[in-house]
Structure 1
């Protein structure tokens, strides 16, 4: 995935999450939303690190 595509995807995802939280139609309080987002950020960060390690091992194996 190209970097520009990745950044657009992050921007759209952030906008969607913002709209869901700010829409007022959810039962989420700001405290619940904050806790959920903190957990989501940690999970996404961990997945990105795992993917980076796997990619580095794959790239080093081809050389």
Structure 2
């Protein structure tokens, strides 16, 4: 994704990579945190901001 972003520096679209965390699914089990609302909030908060970001489900930047 970083390579794509570097090749398309003038692209005004938001490029987001999202770490959803431990998702509550059949495989994730009942003890997992419900992260979908946080993922939606992170996407909504950064919509329209150009450039690449790697965020977690809380909207915080994931270190490289």
Instruction: State the TM-score, normalized to the length of structure 2.
Output: 0.30
Bigger proportion of residues as helix? 1
Q: Which structure is richer in relative contact order (CA contacts within 8 A, separation 6 or more)?
A: 2
> Whose strand proportion is higher, 1 or 2?
2
